[in-house]
Structure 1
């Protein structure tokens, strides 16, 4: 059979539209970060409680991505992309109109439906490139463009959010993302087409129920750890129950003719390290966002550490990090061609680990923090782009949506775990507050734990990726030609 070569130019239209969707996703991910301290004051909660916002969104994301990714494979990736965009728009519209922490928390969690956008987009592009002998390379390049758009949106969102929060009331500032997502909805509705062949079948409701219960137990256990502490038995019971529920889920999926998640993919020597890497990566790229923001805003004169940055100053710091992520995402395909995708992933994970561990000795000045975040950002951008594309290239043809979705699901579980750990670590307030004052900032030792966990988890993923087969994530046709 003859295969054709499809160029990036031939799919530029769909990539451009999907890049706008990721640009909007970037706005959501970057816009709020400089104002998390202001949100905490608006809701009358402590800085450590901001992690509840991040953790709840990650928990819900972990629950919905497996089902939405499977439904994308079954009934069309565009349809599910459209539904998730509508839910995100509705949730974003609630945030400006409430100062109740519970309502804000629920809306913030539902806003996390955007987490499925990138996996669905990668699946759409993978379908578009069917029949090409450069399919994996093209998908990786397109993923790099999507991630670059995402990070550009995050940069502009962070800069815009940081600038606006210094001059406008918070409710007005919070209304901007809602408008952006509504525009995104119409772009998806009228601009994006899906040429994938739906894998129609009966939805695996039993599997969905079992994995949802398992994830609820796990994420609930994380939440109880934060509320009750590690010395209480109930959190550990919940975590143990969550782990135990994975067993009947796996057994059911092995017997099901069209499973929600083909657990056999976890036996793949190429896919298993990717999934594990995604979970470890989630600890830093998702779990550390709020701590980095609150550390930058902490007043060093009052607490003895922090940068004392304004909202705009914190957004500039985030901007440097996101520029590094754009650079990493765009450089990854070139590096992968030179040293193989497997080794490029190892290099990216190592950069993240080194960047966060540099925080331990170097965190006293703005320049030091920027340098650390740039090193970590180069590796983070590469992994954000590479992990779903690598999963798509290594997965069965009818499971691309599930495989790419799993990278996000596992990543969000890792982020939820880290968010819980970081929230507990930062819960004990700083000792530098004036007498009689309530310390709302986290402790320096808590931030040290954040940096150690992020650095160590990234280095662990680098080691895991060394065990991936040398030719993993490369086009099968290219490998055959090289071996001929």
Structure 2
């Protein structure tokens, strides 16, 4: 056996150890995302607010995540991905430890929003793995496998979190229950600190503060305008003006970034034939993976004997639907690297987006029984799991060497923006035509649910079509090798 082969094996073994530690981080991320859902009503009672006010928790966390990812992704490329993982985990842990010990809605809301720093974990992890595997053969394949493993850990954590959270809230005081994810994040901090090695060769440089301010203002205005639209309805001119301001503020940001020597976000990546469609796909995918969760849950809970639609499921039956969906996502994430190796990463992405589209459009004729909804969600879950794993890995393999963290982070940011837009549109659609005698847990009219299914299905199929225009060898080891060679020549 040659020395280089031995060295390669040792390096891959060390990388596998890092992936194992990062899998614990993603398991913790999943627990955070699933743990609180069964106890949101208990949280509302504890804080003395109406159930509807709980929606502010999701809205503020989405807004903060859209702001955090660009800065932390860029800083990861500059000073090291592990360092930014440690900092973001420390912030998440501090916020999580506030939640059990406050009965003030304002303090709880602020801590909940700051807890959203965990959204940067997966993009930073993918960028770290891509950086650590730089000298290995089959770099893109290794990253894709790692991404699938991390997403599987994420969804396993979400299932575990939902089940454990639902079990504990029935038998323990709320403050003790809320301590569980907080302590898990604290453990996560030490796992990263002592178990993960830093990515090699950070780019250095100075953070583009002007660009950060401009994009932050744009995102705050845009997401704030969407929140106003959802609260006040589409007839509110102020909401439209604030939303439009957010869109317009992207223009000075882009012009500034084009002139900057070391931009926060290299906006030229959006013109890349490989990266542009990936970012657009992430935004279109965000419509369904982030925007459709609440409508699907409330549709299942709606009593068909009262409204003529819905399944009339109990909370436990609804959680089983969610559990099956998450298991399908795990399967899709784990199958992605295998199918990508047998076919091509681009074709696998196209197939995954197509599955999501077919699954949602199947709701149009098949939504009357529990079995029909389960089948639809399995199809959606298989495609969604593959996309969650594939998009950041694809972005890493197609990005410039100095923008790996930024590119993986952008898939998350654009996905969040797509989810925020969808959440607003779906909220308005579900309210339109809804009868006044809504039962607890009912979201809106049947026409609104049809709108959700159609929009999610069409946007997913549009993403599949966009990916057809990506170069055939994109996201593969052949493309990655070409990029590394070009970098070496330069």
TM-score (norm 1): 0.91
**C-alpha distance in 1, partners of 2:158/2:191?**
19
1:353 CA drift (Å): 1.2
Q: For 1:214, what is the secondary structure of its paired residue?
A: helix
Pairing of 1:30-179 with structure 2 (within 5 A): 30-36=34-40, 38-39=42-43, 49-179=53-183
Residues 9, 299 of structure 1: alpha-carbon distance in 2 compared, 3 angstrom cutoff: farther
Which is worse superposed, 367-376 or 340-349? 367-376
Which is worse superposed, 205-214 or 228-237? 228-237
Which is worse superposed, 369-378 or 306-315? 306-315
Matched, 1:447 2:449: yes
Q: For 1:433, what is the secondary structure of its paired residue?
A: coil
Within the candidate set 440, 463, 466, 2:465 is matched to: 463
Which is worse superposed, 178-187 or 376-385? 178-187
Matched, 1:201 2:205: yes
1:79 CA drift (Å): 1.2
1:39 CA drift (Å): 4.5
* Residue 313 (structure 1) aligns with: 317
Matched, 1:364 2:365: no
Which is worse superposed, 414-423 or 208-217? 414-423
Unaligned runs of 5+ in 2: 483-490
Pairing of 1:135-284 with structure 2 (within 5 A): 135-284=139-288
1:324/1:377 contact within 8 Å kept: yes
**C-alpha distance in 1, partners of 2:39/2:372?**
22
Which is worse superposed, 376-385 or 156-165? 156-165
Unaligned runs of 5+ in 1: none
TM-score (norm 2): 0.90
1:430/1:439 contact within 8 Å kept: no
1:406 CA drift (Å): 0.6
**C-alpha distance in 1, partners of 2:372/2:130?**
40
**C-alpha distance in 2, partners of 1:216/1:125?**
31
Residues 292, 102 of structure 1: alpha-carbon distance in 2 compared, 3 angstrom cutoff: farther
Residues 312, 185 of structure 1: alpha-carbon distance in 2 compared, 3 angstrom cutoff: farther
**C-alpha distance in 2, partners of 1:109/1:194?**
28
1:165 CA drift (Å): 3.6
* Residue 401 (structure 2) aligns with: 397
Residues 386, 74 of structure 1: alpha-carbon distance in 2 compared, 3 angstrom cutoff: same
Cα deviation digits, residues 51-81 of structure 1 (max 9, x gap): 4322321111111100010011111111111
Q: For 2:200, what is the secondary structure of its paired residue?
A: coil
**C-alpha distance in 2, partners of 1:335/1:416?**
31
1:202 CA drift (Å): 1.3
1:131 CA drift (Å): 1.5
Residues 49, 306 of structure 1: alpha-carbon distance in 2 compared, 3 angstrom cutoff: farther
Within the candidate set 12, 17, 29, 2:16 is matched to: 12
1:388 CA drift (Å): 0.5
Q: For 1:473, what is the secondary structure of its paired residue?
A: coil
Matched, 1:473 2:457: no
Pairing of 1:271-350 with structure 2 (within 5 A): 271-301=275-305, 304-350=308-354
Residues 149, 134 of structure 1: alpha-carbon distance in 2 compared, 3 angstrom cutoff: same
1:231 CA drift (Å): 1.4
1:184 CA drift (Å): 0.8
Count of matched residue pairs: 476
**C-alpha distance in 2, partners of 1:417/1:213?**
17
Q: For 2:180, what is the secondary structure of its paired residue?
A: helix
**C-alpha distance in 1, partners of 2:163/2:114?**
24
Q: For 1:312, what is the secondary structure of its paired residue?
A: helix
2:431/2:445 contact within 8 Å kept: no
Which is worse superposed, 208-217 or 175-184? 175-184
1:36 CA drift (Å): 4.0
- Select the structure with the greater relative contact order (CA < 8 A; seq sep ≥ 6): 1
Q: For 2:206, what is the secondary structure of its paired residue?
A: coil
Residues 183, 386 of structure 1: alpha-carbon distance in 2 compared, 3 angstrom cutoff: same
1:14 CA drift (Å): 0.3
1:425 CA drift (Å): 3.1
Q: Output the aligned Cα RMSD.
A: 2.5
**C-alpha distance in 2, partners of 1:396/1:467?**
20
Residues 23, 126 of structure 1: alpha-carbon distance in 2 compared, 3 angstrom cutoff: same
Q: For 1:344, what is the secondary structure of its paired residue?
A: helix
Residues 35, 431 of structure 1: alpha-carbon distance in 2 compared, 3 angstrom cutoff: farther
Cα deviation digits, residues 103-159 of structure 1 (max 9, x gap): 333222222111100010011111111122311111001111111111111111122
